[in-house]
Structure 1
Amino acid sequence: MTVSAPPFSLVGLDHVVFIVDDMKRALDFYQGVLGCTIGYSYPALGMEQVWCGASLIVLWDMTHPGGTKAAPPVPGGRNVDHICIATSPLDHEKLRDHLRKCDVEIYQEAFHGGARGMGHSFYIHDPFGNKIELKGPAEYPDGRPV
């Protein structure tokens, strides 16, 4: 079977949807801890979107009457393993300090590849158990940012 190229090109992550059960807590985390800014709002659906750079994180409240379709098919089941948020260059100690002050635990740090190359990653959870990877820019072997 011959597969032809799709009639489009990929530009990057547009959005990811997280199912939440407390919109205020979700917005407090994504705005206060991660620095996202308010995007589009769909109050009839119980949905808020926040800007994460050029991409959106959609927060859909399954406890809202408009969010009934958002309920995961398996109670308590995961619907996403994690999302990776690309960051600007960052001071690792300042990030650790910021997350500590926000009572957000870093449960893993790693140095591995991503869309922008090899770089340092910090893994955290939002208040709903969603895993988030914060990934700095690629680094040369001598540690310089690309």
Structure 2
Amino acid sequence: MQLLGLDHVVIRTAKVEQLLAFYQEVLGATLERLLEDEGLYQLRAGSALIDILSTEGSLDSGAAVDVRSSPIAHICLQVRAPSEQALIRTLKRKGVMEALTFATRYGATGFGRSLYIHDPDGNTLELKLV
């Protein structure tokens, strides 16, 4: 078996509309598939998917689940930008008002420069320049 990369990440939330807007408008993901009965929105992020699942959704157990019953430490997304400063400018222009600091970190593609931000539901995202 050869692990090739991130397939998808499922984020449970009570703030579906806010998360959809963030991942689509701020980060540029596109809606690929919608399963309304399950409360599932699947967003394309390069070769991976980010699944936004309503806390009222019934994908796994058939019952609503507390949003923090299975927390996510962080999600690492590979991003392309002309430079670190260009990425910071873009994020700030799109409403990300956190302290944005790059550091060298290890990940699936080895060491690289990345920064951490948070989505509207408090999930930590690592954005890694490739």
1:87 to 74, 79, 91: 79
In 2, Cα distance between the equivalents of 1:133 and 1:89? Answer: 14
> 76-85 vs 126-135, which deviates more?
76-85
Structure 1 spans left out of the alignment, 5+ residues: 1-7, 138-146
Computing the radius of gyration from Cα coordinates, the structure with the larger value is: 1
Residue 108 of structure 1, CA deviation: 4.3
Percent of aligned positions with the same letter in both sequences? 35
Alignment of 1:10-89 (within 5 A): 10-62=3-55, 64=56, 66=58, 69=63, 71-72=65-66, 76=68, 79-89=71-81
Q: Aligned with 2:85: secondary structure?
A: helix
Say whether the 8 Å CA contact 1:60–1:70 is kept in structure 2: no
Decide whether aligned partners of structure 1 residues 106 and 19 sit closer, same or farther in structure 2, where only a CA change above 3 A counts: farther
Residue 26 of structure 1, CA deviation: 1.0
Decide whether aligned partners of structure 1 residues 86 and 130 sit closer, same or farther in structure 2, where only a CA change above 3 A counts: same
The TM-score with structure 1 as length reference comes to 0.77
In 2, Cα distance between the equivalents of 1:20 and 1:51? Answer: 18
Decide whether aligned partners of structure 1 residues 37 and 23 sit closer, same or farther in structure 2, where only a CA change above 3 A counts: same
Say whether the 8 Å CA contact 2:57–2:63 is kept in structure 1: no
The TM-score with structure 2 as length reference comes to 0.85
What is the number of residues matched between the two proteins? 127
Q: Deviations over 1:93-116 (max 9, x none)?
A: 121111112221245431122111
Structure 2 spans left out of the alignment, 5+ residues: none
- RMSD between aligned alpha carbons? 2.1
> Higher relative contact order by CA 8 Å / sep ≥ 6: 1 or 2?
2
Report whether the alignment pairs 1:135 with 2:121. no
